[in-house]
Amino acid sequence: MLNLERMRVLHAVFTSGSVRGAAEALHVTTSAVSQQIARLEREVGQLLVERHGRGIRLTDAGVALADHADRLLAQVERIEADLADRRGAVVGNLTVAAFATAARALLPDVLRSLRAEHQRLVVRLTEMEPTDAVPLLCRGDVDVAVVQDWAESPVELPDGLSRLHLLDDLLDVALPVEHPLARRERLLLDHLADEEWVTWSSGQICSDWIEQVLRKHGVAPRLMHTASEHSTQLALVAAGIGIAISPRLGRGPVPDGVRIVPTRPMLRRRVFASWRSTAERRPAIRAVIAALARCGTTAAGDRAEPKTRRREHTGDRTG
């Protein structure tokens, strides 16, 4: 009979692409991973991995078995969720991943309310970009992910994930107070064609989005300075060396020397929570999603226009 934990190890090697990646995902040593794969090979009587350059790759038999493992592990998660649902207790350990401003603006209240309401539930937060969080969510290394997207650049979630819209976050332009446009009530983006920009580091989802939006409005942005933290960006704006886009969610005190001006049309991003559909019957998952929904409604306030919340299913890998 096939050993479930060894199937889990093979699946981790397949999804991570290496023994080291599997070891990191499973929090074990590379030696332990290699030993489990060797035992699984003896169980099935076939080679499952082979040398490839300096690393390894799965054989055809290994890929086939990893595919079976994917469906099997999803079914096991459904069974566990069903049993947890029948028990009805909000217990266990969960990991929530959230991008930086959501981690700052939403998660403190979420974690505080969960700790007060469910003493037997342990929730760990890890700050993470959506491009990193979604693959970990699919693999089961993260239980709930708070991610963002834009109408101009929607995130396509993989099959097997569900999501709940939490809020729409509006974004404004941050200008030095002495800037000629700083006293405008609203700004058209094409007013900003000749400006020097402070933006996010190259490759971050926000950086790609703002460049795309500006070019759509006929602005070829001069991206002069990059910083991942909004507070750093605003400090650079206050110094008078550029302008920036400033989200309302998680925005702290605006420094002296900075003027915040809305745009027309208004810039907005969508914030939603996502989780594996196979785990949605777990009371712990439902408790986290409910807490995120409550805090999302509170955080929306004057930051975003109200919007009907709906849950979306993107399918199920196991049919």
CATH of the domain at 9: 1.10.10.10
- How many other C-beta atoms can be found within 10 angstroms of the C-beta atom of residue 173? 25
Residues 69 and 146 in one domain: no
Question: Alpha-carbon torsion 142, 307, 282, 7, what sign?
Answer: negative
pLDDT of residue 214: 79
pLDDT of residue 72: 84
Rounded to whole angstroms, the Cα distance separating 241 from 71 reads 54
pLDDT of 314 > 80? The answer is: no
Residues 162 and 57 in one domain: no
pLDDT of 256 > 90? The answer is: yes
Interval 186-199 mean pLDDT: 88
Residues 116 and 10 in one domain: no
Find the angle CA(98)-CA(23)-CA(140) to the nearest 5 degrees: 40
Look at residues 51, 85, 119 and tell me which one is the last residue of a structural domain: 85
pLDDT of 307 > 90? The answer is: no
Task: Kindly report the average pLDDT of the chain as a whole number.
Answer: 85
> What phi and psi, each to the nearest 5 degrees, are found at residue 146?
-100, 115
Q: Which of 305, 304, 267, 307 is nearest to 151 (CA)?
A: 267
Q: Which of 248, 243, 293 is nearest to 266 (CA)?
A: 248
Distances in whole angstroms, Cα of residue 8 to Cα of each of 22, 23, 33, 80? 10, 11, 10, 15
pLDDT of 36 > 80? The answer is: yes
Residues 311 and 245 in one domain: yes
* Burial (0-12, 13-18, 19+ Cβ within 10 Å), 224: middle
Kindly indicate the confidence band of residue 252, based on its pLDDT and cuts at 50, 70 and 90: confident
Residues 21 and 112 in one domain: no
> What phi and psi, each to the nearest 5 degrees, are found at residue 275?
-155, 165
pLDDT of residue 6: 87
Residues 81 and 193 in one domain: no
pLDDT of residue 133: 92
pLDDT of 208 > 90? The answer is: no
Residues 114 and 77 in one domain: no
Residues 75 and 26 in one domain: yes
Bridge partners, residue 52, by sequence: 55
Residues 59 and 132 in one domain: no
Residues 179 and 305 in one domain: yes
Kindly indicate the confidence band of residue 311, based on its pLDDT and cuts at 50, 70 and 90: very low
Kindly indicate the confidence band of residue 301, based on its pLDDT and cuts at 50, 70 and 90: low
> Which CATH number characterizes residue 182's domain?
3.40.190.290
pLDDT of 312 > 90? The answer is: no
What is the extent of the structural domain holding 304?
89-319
Look at residues 50, 85, 120 and tell me which one is the last residue of a structural domain: 85
pLDDT of residue 303: 53
pLDDT of 26 > 70? The answer is: yes
pLDDT of 195 > 50? The answer is: yes
Kindly indicate the confidence band of residue 4, based on its pLDDT and cuts at 50, 70 and 90: confident
> What phi and psi, each to the nearest 5 degrees, are found at residue 24?
-65, -40
Distances in whole angstroms, Cα of residue 288 to Cα of each of 3, 41, 143? 32, 39, 10
Look at residues 58, 85, 112 and tell me which one is the last residue of a structural domain: 85
Residues 159 and 253 in one domain: yes
Q: Which amino acid is at 117?
A: E
Residues 160 and 30 in one domain: no
pLDDT of residue 313: 44
288 touches 198 (CB < 8 A) = no
**For residue range 97-150, what is the model confidence (pLDDT) as tens digits?**
999 999 999 999 999 999 999 999 999 999 998 888 998 998 888 999 999 988
Using a pLDDT cut of 90, give the percent of the chain over it: 39
Question: Alpha-carbon torsion 97, 101, 102, 103, what sign?
Answer: positive
- Maximum average pLDDT range among 8-17, 46-55, 67-76, 251-260: 251-260
283 touches 90 (CB < 8 A) = yes
Task: Tally the domains of the chain.
Answer: 2
pLDDT of residue 23: 86
